[in-house]
Amino acid sequence: ETGVTQSPTHLIKTRGQQVTLRCSSQSGHNTVSWYQQALGQGPQFIFQYYREEENGRGNFPPRFSGLQFPNYSSELNVNALELDDSALYLCASSSNSGEETQYFGPGTRLLVL
Amino acid sequence: GEDVEQSLFLSVREGDSSVINCTYTDSSSTYLYWYKQEPGAGLQLLTYIFSNMDMKQDQRLTVLLNKKDKHLSLRIADTQTGDSAIYFCAGSFDSNYQLIWGAGTKLIIKP
């Protein structure tokens, strides 16, 4: 069974640029959630995708957008990057079958200069 | 909105038990989770408890849930140096299954 994978592991961008982060869900999982974790803080929920549709969204602006593909992998896109977007971005997959446990990937560390 | 709170640090001696505490404000939780995060790494699921349970034990880990006081704890027996990490409490409080997280408790092991 393959776990959750994310790419890239690290990324450096400058203000105003756009970034795409990728996530492959664990085998058998159809739901992907994205979180932002700033240094020294707990993760903050960005949004969740279930069967290619957005299934819930946290308090993040529209420049944070996402996609889920038929194989349940997912992308997080951030436009017009700001310095405060520097964080660890975590992807989690789950089966949405009533048991909600989310399994996390190793994260992508984004630094915006 | 929902809030989850944890103390920021806990220091214990190697071999002692560690007890990490968490409180939450929303009584409509379904599942409550404990995750472990080592430096530079992602989040590792340790254990979880369904909201209709009071206790769950899994090897060295014991989770206690007091629904009346909205208090969750994680006890790690015989704490080892490999247990050094940040421990996050999280709960699912609505039907979208999004998790609400505490700020994490850094567990420091003294020799």
Q: What are phi and psi of A15, to 5 degrees?
A: -55, 140
Q: Which residues of B touch A9 (CB under 8 A)?
A: none
Classified as helix, coil or strand, A83 is helix
User: Tens-of-pLDDT digits for all 111 residues of chain B?
Assistant: 678 999 999 999 999 999 999 999 876 777 899 999 998 788 999 999 988 889 999 999 999 999 889 899 999 999 999 999 999 999 887 655 678 899 999 999 998
How far is it, in rounded angstroms, from Cα A101 to Cα B35? 11
Please name every residue paired with B106 in a beta bridge, in sequence order, or none if there are none: B9, B86
Classified as helix, coil or strand, A18 is coil
Neighbours of A62 (CB within 10 A): 7
Q: Which residues of B touch A105 (CB under 8 A)?
A: 42
Is the minimum CB–CB distance between B97 and chain A shorter than 8 Å? yes
How far is it, in rounded angstroms, from Cα A92 to Cα B65? 25
